[in-house]
Amino acid sequence: MHSVLRKAFGDAVRVDELIASNPTERAKRPRLHHGEPGKVWTPAQLRAFLVSAEGHRLSAFFHLAAYTGARRGELLNLRWPDVDLDGASIQIKGSVGFVAGERIEGTTKSGRSRVVSLDLGTVDVLKAHRKRQLADKLKAGEFWKGAEDGHVFATGWGEPVHPDTVSSLMATLIKEHNAADGVTPLPHARLHDLRHVHATTLLLAGVPVHVVAARLGHADPAITLRVYAHVVNEQLAEAATIFADRIDGAA
């Protein structure tokens, strides 16, 4: 709200010359408080979910979301020319959302594109997904609505997937998993929690914060530190033991 008002009053001063000065320049902007993510899935729970979702035509979406930490809108904006299967990476150039029922494509949250590396298993998942999509295209024939540089994640007739579709689909897949016999039920999780699992897992594994920030698309590693402060604090608690073990081992 402060930013919107500052821009509006700034236009009133410089563009329309309605007032002599911008009153919001003297107003202190409220501090932004970043809430820590709640309890996230363990790696075992994530694996169980992905295995359970393998039969769905959009299973690759959830796999890529978990293995890259990318945002929902970023992945739904992803096109095949931005996927380098040989180089095992994707380039995230923008994001997509819906405003008043209209699909809007724009920049990423930070305003910058980024390249995210992929593991070989994820490359295989994308190859299988591409093969399935080509089969959909062949089946649809003249009714296929996708472009040549089509979206990686599309409907069965080539149109972009609505963001709400994958969010509600995740809840459905969790419910189906929990209804199966002989499985350990998964706790409730949102689609965005896959991003938190990615970040938390990397940080607990000792991956430097600036590397995690680059994968997540955070403009500043300080944002990552604030959001995942609880994970960093766990590492700080172990730092003394790690140092002592290294020194004692050398002796």
Q: What is the domain count for the chain?
A: 2
Q: Assess whether 22 and 67 both reside in one domain.
A: no
- Domain range holding 70? 43-250
Confidence at residue 148, expressed as pLDDT on a 0 to 100 scale = 78
The whole model's pTM is what? 0.81
Average pLDDT of the residues of the chain: 91
Same domain, 14 and 103: no
Does residue 38 form part of some domain? Answer: no
Residue 34: pLDDT over 60: no
Residue listed under structure tokens 């039920």: 185
Whether residue 156 sits in one domain with residue 94:
yes
- The b-or-e profile of 88-111 (16+ CB within 10 A means b, else e) is eebebbbbbeeeeeeeeeeebeee
| CA nearest neighbour of 94 among 111, 80, 81 | 111
Number of H helices, E strands in the chain: 10, 5
Question: Tens digits of per-residue pLDDT, 96-138?
Answer: 998 888 899 999 988 899 999 999 999 999 999 999 999 999 9
Q: What is the pLDDT of residues 40-61, one digit of tens each?
A: 899 999 999 999 999 999 999 9
Residues 18 and 134 grouped into a single domain: no
Give residue 231's pLDDT.
83
Verify that 99 and 139 share a domain, yes or no.
yes
Instruction: Say if residue 85 is in the same domain as residue 5.
Output: no
H or E element: which one contains 23? Answer: none
